[in-house]
Amino acid sequence: MEMVLKRSGGGMACHQHRPAEQQEPAELSAELRRGPWTVDEDLTLINYISDHGEGRWNALARAAGLKRTGKSCRLRWLNYLRPDVKRGNFTAEEQLLILDLHSRWGNRWSKIAQHLPGRTDNEIKNYWRTRVQKHAKQLNCDINSKRFKDAMKYLWMPRLVERIHASTGPGDDNIGPDDDGSGDYGNNDLSCISGVTMATIATCFEGSPSMVMSSSSDSITSESQDLQKINLHVHGGDEKMSSRDWMQEVDHEFWSTQIQPNNEQFQDQELNGWVQGFSEGMSESLWSLEDIWKMQ
């Protein structure tokens, strides 16, 4: 089992003031524990749930002899101890899904998590805040702005699609280093992409500057057929044009036509400089998403 005591026992000691509404009954609050869970607590919770099942968290916490709130037990189980919780970096497919579903539903993390088996709302939320919002901040634009949404739609998401296309073996479809030693769990067989992801791919290409994606909702019999359709569209029927070439073309056209420094969408000098640098660099090589963000 993974050790959970990475932090000292003093963690979260700042949370000392709680409104009366949130207080536990007096006889319980005096002995309630908070902060990082110990291995013993984890084992107690796991054993209890394996014997009695989950749910009714307050009663569960008392019955198991845990000096924790039901809330705390529920959170620990759902976000960490549950056997089907996935660990490690998000795959390209998952990232694509998150971007797409967030664009539809906003911060409905639990709803988004329902479409990513094994991923928790907390994990997705953290991903969004630490990765996506960070990039918006680096671009000095609001995460809800058209500028950032365009960058996601025309750059980030197509690139993720490209990575899904290009992936040939397990273990390297994450953005960013996989340095936690856990390895990727991702299956790069494209047949594993969920129906939602296929829809995502379709919407991703829909309206992109040099590509028109026909509706894929009709007469779809399988995901592999979807994929073939997308391949056809992506390659435009020209077998000599790799998806990589196509992506380069899309990116270059997008950045040269839609995000020119004089474009009214991009008035501020700082971003213009970044865009220009990006646009010039794009003709030289295909940049990884990470490189793109690092450029500015």
Partner DNA sequence: AAGGTACTCAACCGCGGCTAA
Partner DNA sequence: ATTAGCCGCGGTTGAGTACCT
Q: Which of 50/110 has CB closer to DNA?
A: 110
Q: Which of 7/244 has CB closer to DNA?
A: 7
In sequence order, the 6+-apart residues with CB closer than 8 A to the CB of 202 are 213, 215, 216, 226, 230
Integer angstrom CA distances of residue 178 from 88, 99, 139, 281:
8, 20, 25, 26
Q: Which of 18/244 has CB closer to DNA?
A: 18
Q: Is 260 helix (H, G, I), strand (E, B) or coil?
A: coil
Q: Which of 98/282 has CB closer to DNA?
A: 98
What's the min distance (Å) between Cβ of 133 and DNA?
9
What's the min distance (Å) between Cβ of 30 and DNA?
14
- State the Cα angle at 105 between 102 and 111, rounded to 5°: 90
Residues in contact with DNA by CB under 7 A are 4, 6-8, 10-15, 17-19, 21-22, 33-37, 55-59, 70-72, 74-76, 79-80, 107-111, 121-123, 125-127, 129-131, 134, 176-177, 179-180
Q: Name the DSSP class of 87.
A: -
What's the min distance (Å) between Cβ of 35 and DNA?
5
Residue indicated by tokens 């993720």 = 160
What's the min distance (Å) between Cβ of 262 and DNA?
30
What's the min distance (Å) between Cβ of 271 and DNA?
18
What's the min distance (Å) between Cβ of 146 and DNA?
20
CA separation for the pair 188, 192 (Å, rounded): 7
Q: Which of 12/212 has CB closer to DNA?
A: 12
Q: Which of 82/229 has CB closer to DNA?
A: 82
CA separation for the pair 41, 22 (Å, rounded): 22
Provide long-range contacts, Cβ within 8 A and 24+ apart, for 264-269.
265/146, 265/147, 265/150, 266/147, 268/140
Q: Are 251 and 155 in contact (CB under 8 A)?
A: yes
* Phi and psi at residue 256, to the nearest 5°: -85, -25
CA separation for the pair 227, 276 (Å, rounded): 34
